[in-house]
């Protein structure tokens, strides 16, 4: 049996989405910017897709949604756009973000620091959550942007976006949220949460890879990251990948309908809890950051005495795909910065295994995964040189 438990890295394209994309490769292939019928023939489905995106995040008609290549581009567009508009060409010089953002945010901020920008990386609490009051404490006169993710890719922890949005609104500071891991898992409402900019990536919610979007609230235009043609009203140059845009739109519709969100919150959550509870029956295992306030599909578990990398190897041998952290960081074996941000011991940081489900995960797959994981823990603890000798204080320390 093959079991894919790495849906926070990427998801399978929903077959319905794939089917909707197909005509746009060999039949309806005109450039949407061309004036002839081949170009114009792409428009109805593009408009439909855009409408699905607006509905999926409850954007207002006057707001803008820019099609990008992925969340990385959306995040770069916001942070570098703010840098140009408010820092280089304005009188601000400060950005607030968190210590646990995806590298698409932190690496961009680190780059801006080399250019003289001051960046505050806010810590999370012992549950892995950024408290809204902390954001308020760090806002300064020259703060140009607050950028806080909606849900964390490693832990699934959901941040208090509504409260942070209200704080930013009161302070008159634009608020960006990276909602890449929230779409299709929890309700996302940009108006209710006073969001100014929002990033998303289609491949995280059963859409195709290589396409994403950036929501921009009315009145908050940004200097573009990509200059060139007049596509996207001049906000993002480059011919739009029509097939992918159509796929992203439908994927958004399918993932964010009230029924889909209820399924995620009930059925997917139940399977995740079944998997998690079975692993927690093994002595000296914990859910990193605890069980509260998480996306329903994610668990990040530490199994004392078992290196995350070794566990992945064993799981892979039994055709189960999981992760020790975000796939983007998996080529270096440095402890995961998100786990380090908990301020816990380095063993914890090296023993985390992230299991992330989707609406396509079945109960049979979960049963198989439980069996394999239990066997792998026994095997790896048996051969571990450190396990028997490590003081058994792991659980009490957390």
Question: Exactly one of 26, 109, 193, 328 is catalytic; which is it?
Answer: 328
Q: Which of 17, 104, 167, 315 binds ligand PLP (CB under 6 A)?
A: 104
Site map for ligand PLP, 241-280, x if CB under 6 A?
Answer: ----------------------------------------
- What CA–CA distance (Å, rounded) separates 98 from 145? 12
* Given 7, 11, 70, 302, the residue binding ligand PLP (CB under 6 A): 70
| Binding status of residue 149 toward ligand PLP by CB under 6 A | yes
The nearer residue to ligand PLP, 222 or 380, going by C-beta atoms, is 222
Binding of residue 181 to ligand PLP (CB under 6 A): yes
For ligand PLP, the closer CB: 251 or 377: 251
Q: Which of 102, 236, 304, 350 binds ligand PLP (CB under 6 A)?
A: 102
CA dist 10 → 98, 143, 205 (Å): 23, 34, 8
The span of 64-72, 76-84, 91-99, 253-261 binding ligand PLP (CB under 6 A) equals: 64-72
Q: Which residues of 143-160 are buried (b: 16+ CB within 10 A; e: fewer)?
A: bbbbbbbbbbbbbbbbbb
Smallest separation, CB 127 to ligand PLP (Å): 18
Residues 6+ apart with CB under 8 A from 15: none
> In the bound complex, what is the minimum distance in angstroms from residue 149's beta carbon to ligand PLP?
5
Mention every residue, 6+ apart, whose C-beta is less than 8 A from residue 11.
203, 204, 205, 206, 358, 360
178 binds ligand PLP (CB under 6 A): yes
Residue 285 sits at φ, ψ, to 5 deg, of: -130, 145
Among 108, 201, 244, 361, binds ligand PLP (CB under 6 A): 201
Active site residue 328: yes
**What are the residues binding ligand PLP (CB under 6 A)?**
70-72, 102, 104, 149, 153, 178, 180-181, 201, 203, 212, 326, 328
């Amino acid at each position: 049996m093959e079991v894919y438990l790495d849906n926070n890295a990427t998801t399978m394209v929903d077959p319905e989405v794939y089917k909707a994309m197909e005509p746009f490769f060999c039949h309806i292939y005109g450039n949407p910017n061309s004036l002839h019928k081949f170009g114009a023939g792409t428009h109805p489905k593009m408009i439909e897709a855009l409408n699905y995106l607006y509905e999926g995040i409850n954007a207002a008609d006057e707001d803008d949604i820019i099609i990008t290549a992925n969340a990385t581009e959306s995040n770069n567009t916001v942070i570098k756009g703010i840098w140009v508009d408010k820092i280089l060409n304005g009188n601000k010089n400060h950005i607030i973000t968190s210590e646990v953002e995806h590298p698409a945010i932190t690496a961009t901020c680190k780059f801006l620091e080399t250019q003289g920008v001051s960046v505050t990386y806010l810590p999370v609490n012992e549950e892995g959550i950024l408290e809204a009051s902390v954001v308020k404490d760090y806002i300064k006169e020259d703060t140009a942007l607050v950028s806080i993710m909606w849900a964390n890719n490693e832990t699934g922890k959901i941040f208090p976006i509504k409260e942070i949005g209200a704080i930013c609104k009161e302070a008159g500071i634009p608020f960006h949220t990276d909602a890449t891991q929230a779409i299709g898992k929890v309700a996302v409402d940009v108006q209710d949460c006073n969001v100014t900019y929002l990033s998303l990536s289609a491949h995280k919610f059963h859409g195709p890879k290589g396409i994403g979007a950036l929501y921009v609230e009315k009145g908050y235009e940004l200097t573009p990251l990509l200059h060139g043609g007049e596509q996207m009203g001049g906000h993002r140059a480059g011919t739009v990948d029509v097939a992918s845009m159509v796929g992203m739109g439908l994927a958004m519709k399918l993932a964010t309908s009230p029924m889909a969100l209820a399924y995620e919150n009930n059925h997917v959550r139940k399977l995740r809890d079944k998997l998690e509870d079975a692993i927690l029956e093994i002595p000296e295992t914990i859910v990193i950051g605890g069980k509260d306030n998480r996306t329903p599909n994610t668990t990040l578990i530490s199994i004392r005495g078992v290196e995350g990398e070794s566990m992945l190897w064993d799981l892979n041998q039994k055709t189960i795909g999981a992760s020790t952290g975000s796939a983007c960081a998996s080529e270096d074996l440095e402890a995961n910065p998100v786990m380090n941000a908990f301020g816990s011991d380095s063993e914890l940081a090296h023993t985390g295994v992230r299991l992330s489900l989707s609406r396509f995960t079945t109960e049979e797959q979960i049963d198989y995964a439980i069996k394999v994981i239990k066997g792998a823990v026994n095997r790896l603890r048996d051969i571990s040189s450190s396990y028997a000798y490590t003081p058994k204080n792991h659980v009490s320390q957390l």
